[in-house]
Amino acid sequence: MADKQYIYQVARIRSKEMELLTGQNIQQLLASDSYDSCLRVLSDRGWDVSSGDADTILAIQRQNTWALMEELVEDISVFDVFLYQNDFHNLKAAIKQVCTQEHFQDIYIPDGTVEPQRIEQAVSQRDFGALPPRMQKAAQEAFTALLRTGDGQLCDVIIDSACLAAILQAGRDSGDALILAYAELTVAAADIKTAVRCQRTGKELDFLKRALVPCDSLDVAQLAAAAADSEEAIYSYLERTAYAPGVEALRQSSAAFERWCDDLMMQRIRPQLHNAFTIGPLAAYILARENEEKTVRIILSGKKNHLDESAVAERVRDMYV
């Protein structure tokens, strides 16, 4: 779609951006003395909190976001990249359920580009060609690996790597700088967390090479070698990359690093607030909503479990607006 065709859509997004939570709203939520008080703050911002249930409240927000995109964009597949992780999660769940011949409740995430039932049917019938091309090879390899070895971790690595590769390829194919930036950061962040986790669990170099997915901002060969050496070697390598500012957070915890990555993503998409012509502001709005929902979930969970405000505040993300 030509850039000029997004002028109306961006104008609509500008009005919707006024409804996004601000940093001040997040502070109000943190300062609320109870879960119910948080719901009142959200209600004042236009959220449907009538159910009183956090999962339902957030699901409604997510549905509203995608309903808006379907209204604004004729071919919504341009945003499929934001849902790939749900698809591959469902593939992983389907393979494990079929291979173990056990039935588990609520194992699928409904918000994906492929219906969970279609994935489960393809796996149960071993008809992997019925899946989208980006999932076919990984589905067959992971299914065979789990069936023959019973190694759930190997199954996870195969599918997770395929997911990240699909995200990166979609970003490169999108022709949009913001979507590419999202894809690159998603893959790089996953590689870094995987490297640290593998180092701490004593994984061999061959495992690391299979688990890490090449991307433009990291040399995965160097990252794998560092992870096979020591945790300090990982930090030393990262200090020479664009992710050097995140090393301190990574030293603290995986959760702190995830927050740093989310905040970095908000920094990178914020210029879209001044872009009036391309699809970028629409993609930024989706990511802003996801970031908002993640933060609200953290706060509501903290209030419901009576966690200390400072402990919750450490995990909240920067807002888009």
Q: Report the C-alpha gap between 8 and 15 in whole angstroms.
A: 11
Low-confidence ranges of the chain (pLDDT < 50): 1-4
Supply the CATH number for residue 144's domain.
1.20.1690
Supply the CATH number for residue 46's domain.
1.10.132.50
DSSP calls for 6-20: GHHHHHHHHHHHTTS
Asked if residue 155 and residue 198 are part of one domain, the reply reads no
- Angle (CA) 85 55 299, round 5°: 95
Q: Which domain range does residue 131 map to?
A: 80-174
pLDDT of residue 102: 86
Q: Report the C-alpha gap between 9 and 205 in whole angstroms.
A: 48
pLDDT of residue 20: 97
Distance of alpha carbon 144 from the chain centroid: 27
Taking residue 50's Cβ as centre, other Cβ atoms within 10 Å add up to 11
Q: What single-letter amino acid sits at 157? A: V
**What is the pTM for the complete model shown?**
0.94
Q: Closest Cα partner for 282 from 178, 183, 128?
A: 178
Asked if residue 88 and residue 61 are part of one domain, the reply reads no
Q: What is the residue whose two structure tokens read 């492929």?
A: 114
Return mean pLDDT, the chain: 95
Q: Report the C-alpha gap between 162 and 138 in whole angstroms.
A: 6
Asked if residue 18 and residue 6 are part of one domain, the reply reads yes
pLDDT of residue 4: 47
Which of 130, 155, 174 is the endpoint of a domain? 174
Q: Report the C-alpha gap between 122 and 131 in whole angstroms.
A: 7
